A and B are shown apart, each in its own frame.
Chain A
Amino acid sequence: MNINRPGRSGALGGRAAGHAGGITAENLTKVFHVSARRPGRFSAVRSLISLQRVARTAVDGVSFQIQPGELVAFLGPNGAGKSTTIKMLTGILTPSSGRVEVNGLVPHRERIANARRVGAVFGQRSQLWWDLPARDSLSVLADIHGVGPELFRERVAAFDRILELSAFWDTRARQLSLGQRVRCDLAAALIHDPAVLYLDEPTIGMDVVVKEQVREFLRDQVENRGRTVVLTTHDMTEVERLAERVILINHGRIVYDGDLNTLRRNHSDTDGPDGNADLEDVMRRAFGRQAASELLGEGGEAASGVEAAAGGEAASSGDVGVSAGSGVEAASSTDAVSGGDVEAGVGPGAKTGGRPKAAIS
């Protein structure tokens, strides 16, 4: 295998050799341009005509390398840049600068080829069709990925063994519970047997039993099947039980990259009891007290400017949800909240326009 043969992807060498499952990121940076309301009088009217654009760096020079068959967990407070990094790895976002290679390909340039080798589950967003039974959705996805009927049957049977899909795969996706839906989404992500699997908060909102089942499944995938799994999560148990390696991201930069035990040793003063308390303590020290509460999801959702900006308002300016402050429309929703008025004033008003989860940069 001649890894020095130049391939289309450039520096790293021949693609034919296939670095199946390996991920390399070098100095990844992503800068978003956000619209902010002009300060001063008649700001609403003036914003209607023209908006001020402010640059916000979501990811700032992130570098790491992931070997095939690793399971890596990305941790960080909300708004730290984890999801943005994952989006750049998947090729959905184009980095503002820096280099990324997955399976020897540049994801955002060679999308089709990349899509054949990766799978993704974005937590809470299902790629199943709402009105079709889950099995039909999987079948359609198999068609899209070019997986033949026999292979499809075999793979689905194999997923069924651990995830117990057959109990509900004839139910329409609309009627599935969250746990059932995410399990189907996992199957959907793996139907084409990709080398790399990205999971963006997959077990959020799930009950303990299903979480354990998913963890079992992921462990099986990594250990027995050799997939590379990249995971973002807020669940400490998950991190402890699954991840050999963690990458901590805060304010768009990597704070720590290595294994969990070393992290513990570096940050804990005393030998506390094993388990979550210990790890939480470690996280607090690693990130600083304020950020840790967001990391652990304690009121984290509201604290992040993303959610607080009443969805519609911040994203509407056509841009990504933005950190609080910076005169963005977040101000108007906090007006409503602090107005001290009946909640009726907040509910209908603040959430008008829906809560978009996709926005444009």
Chain B
Amino acid sequence: MDAGRAHEIRTGLDRKPGLREQAALYYRISRLNLKAQTAYHGEFVLGLLFGLVWQGSMVLFAGVLLLRFPGLGGWKQGDVLLIASMRLVSHSLYVACFSNIAMLSMTVQEGRMDGFLLRPMPVYRQVLLSRFQVNSFGDLLAGAGIFVLALFRLDLGWTPLKAVYVVCGILGGTLVEAGVQTLLAIGALRFTGLFTWTSWVDQTISTFGNYPLNVLPSPAKDALTFVFPVAFIAYLPAAIVTGHTATTGLPLWLTAAAPLLGLGFFLLAKTIWYRSLRLYQSVGG
């Protein structure tokens, strides 16, 4: 039994809440969080705008460049736009559901982690529920908007299979990003200076995740595929959909399995995170 679940003492009196109960609980928690957030009026309003502005600027970056440069590593403009928009939607889902794990160092510094370890709820879930991410509204809006625009500019032969695959690809991308931040969050349990890394990673993914990675020279490309799985977020699924699989430098099955690998990566990261809970050092004397 890993550290996170070890504290769930199972006696005759304790029983695991059913699915419906859990859902009601999460809803209630989120509502409370939201209520608390709305108390900081200025911040709340800004948070709504934040997502739009942040993603908007990233899209601006990608869009402006794409318009000026005819193509990238054999990819047409429209195809590159697909990568960018898939990544955007993935990211906005990540922000909505998982971004609190990236803020773990702030949560630890506030001294809230101790409380999480003492409650009859999985610690990871509590971390995810610890804040209401107001940004996510803006992010989702921006992501969905760009995605729809991209779809209009693309001329792929859309089939139901492709559509389903794109959805899987997006979900897989969300999980990859969540997995990466979860692994980084392990550092937050022990070191409090890690916020800079998590935001740097966020920025790097946002900047470089929009491009077909085959344009980068081999060491960089391999690093971004195997060391730091940016490729799996949007590039590889998009490659399948647009048919650019020859240039990815990876076997076809690996490319096609990207969403599944994303899921596996996330589950692995979460398990390792739970194991690492014993590294946790509380703040303060």
Within 8 A of B (CB), among A130-185: 176-181
Name the segment of A94-102, A222-230, A308-316 touching the other chain: A308-316
CB of A336 closer than 8 Å to a CB of B: yes
Which residues of the partner chain A approach B29 to less than 8 Å between Cβ atoms? Answer: 344-345, 348-349
Residues 95-134 of chain B, each 1 if its beta carbon lies under 8 Å from chain A, else 0: 0000000000000001010011001110000100111100
Separation in Å of the B29 CB from the closest CB of chain A? 5
CA distance A339 to B31 in the complex (A): 13
If A178-B285, A343-B119, A347-B119 touch, whether A336 touches B38 (CB-CB below 8 Å) is no
Number of A-B contacts (CB under 8 A): 88
Bound CA–CA A348/B36 (angstroms)? 10
A48 at the interface (CB under 8 A from B): yes
Q: How far is the CA of A26 from the CA of B40 in the complex (A)?
A: 37
Complex Cα gap A192–B25 (Å): 55
Task: Give CA–CA (A178, B284) in the complex, Å.
Answer: 8
In Å, the complex CA distance between A176 and B28 comes to: 39
| Cβ B39 vs Cβ A316 within 8 A | yes
Most buried by A among B25, B29, B39, B126: B39
Residues of B close to A180: CB separation below 8 A: 285
Question: Which A residues touch B285, using CB under 8 A?
Answer: 176-181
> Do residues B130 and A348 form an inter-chain contact, with CB atoms below 8 A?
yes
Q: How large is the interface on A (under 10, 10 to 19, 20 to 34, 35 or more residues)?
A: 20 to 34
The answer to the question of B35 belonging to the interface, with a C-beta cut-off of 8 Å to chain A, is yes
Are A352 and B37 in contact (CB-based, < 8 A)? yes
CB-CB under 8 A from B25, the residues of chain A are 341-342, 344-345
A332 to chain B, nearest CB (A): 6
A355 to B36, CA, bound (A): 11
Q: Which residues of chain A come closer than 8 Å to B38, judged between CB atoms?
A: 44, 47-48
The chain A residue with its CB closest to the CB of B35 is A332
Whether B33 sits at the interface, judged by CB under 8 Å, is yes
Give me the interface of A with B, judged by CB distance under 8 Å.
44, 47-48, 176-181, 310, 312-313, 316-317, 329, 332, 336, 339, 341-345, 347-355
18 A-B pairs besides A343-B119, A344-B25, A350-B36 with CB distance below 8 A are A48-B38, A178-B284, A179-B285, A313-B39, A316-B41, A332-B36, A341-B25, A342-B25, A342-B121, A344-B121, A345-B28, A345-B32, A349-B31, A349-B33, A351-B112, A352-B37, A352-B130, A353-B40
- Interface, chain B (partner A; CB < 8 A): 25, 28-29, 31-33, 35-41, 44, 110, 112, 115-116, 119-121, 126, 129-132, 284-285
